[in-house]
Structure 1
Amino acid sequence: MEGASPSANQMKKRWEEQISESNISLRPLQLSDLDAFMAWASDDQVSRFCTWNTYTSKEAALNYIKDTVLPHPWYRAICFKNQVVGGISVNKPKSGDDSCRRELAYGLAAKYWGRGIATQAVKLVVSSIFKECPYLIRLEAMVDVDNIGSQRVLEKAGFHKEGVLRKYIIVKGRIVDVVMYSFLSTELKLVD
């Protein structure tokens, strides 16, 4: 049928074709990325499961970038076709008995959800963080039990679901259960 509109599956396939490893990159977030940062960090959908509150002012976001992001040892902008669409971080190294593990966190603009961008960004982190931090044995991520999308991202990126930590953390005044995921350095060959 000529002139017929494309089906939902055809549209999804076209979008997925545009999402390729070469279109996704990570780089340090910069002050000049403020507007791009606000595009996703000011969205209640994005911050819903995050420990941080939605940014309602550019001044607060700029202060966060200056005071937290720029000095952070491993915070990166998630870029799609060189445009900042989210952020991903690995927390600061722990000390003592916890020095072998670090935690992954990420946020992505809602309009890019379900496209494989977050999954690819997580895979990029996994492929580099164990090389950059040779003492690192375990990368972990904790996800709200209601955040099914983020759970799928981690599973597609090769993380293992370990179980539910009941009443584990307070997020915006609400005590939530989280699903613990992990990726071990010995599993790296499985994603390379």
Structure 2
Amino acid sequence: MFRVEEPINKAADRMLKTVQLGIFNSIIVNRLWTPLQQIKFFIPTGHGTLLGTWRRLAVCWFAVCGFIHGIIEGWFSLYYDIIPGDQSFLSQLWKEYSKGDSRYVIADNFTVCMETVTAWLWGPFSFWAVFAFLTNKPYRFVLQLIISLGQLYGAVLYFFTEHRDGYAHSEFGHPVYFWFYFVFMNVLWIVIPLVLILMLGDSY
């Protein structure tokens, strides 16, 4: 629901933080994607050809996941109890995101457990997958399956638990806090892992 009564300066501040969050994520993707674009020049595959486009995209995805899981979500798993009063950058990032899901500032049990598993399991596994693809390890597709299944399972539980609570922790229908923060930023971990699982049959 729109809050038409909020002061203009408060609305402007919220819009500024939203833009900053988008720019921050764009910089992360760009900084990781640019060097990964160069992989095709020196990393051969097991079939004697250069690393293909889809495989480079998968490597980029796992690199981004490793950063998000290991650093951003890792911060939450360690400092979830002090985030509401902390002024550090990552705590501010989580407080901004909590406008779409307040479970992140009330130390909700499921959220803490889910993010801890994600940070300390799927984070390192994602970086391991990057290494496995770049060095053409035979187990790289096994890692892809394990990580994708874990991400898919966690994202489904994330949405379903909030649905069972009647979206009590989010501003249901809000274009930014609900549809962008809560839905879009998390549905990626359903769509992309599902695509990666389905693509395993083709060995892209």
Q: Specify which structure has the bigger relative contact order, considering alpha-carbon pairs within 8 angstroms and separated by 6 or more residues.
A: 2
TM-score by length of 2: 0.29
Where is the strand percentage greater, Structure 1 or Structure 2? Answer: 1
Give the TM-score taking structure 1 as reference length.
0.30
Which structure has the highest helix share of the two? 2
The higher radius of gyration belongs to 2
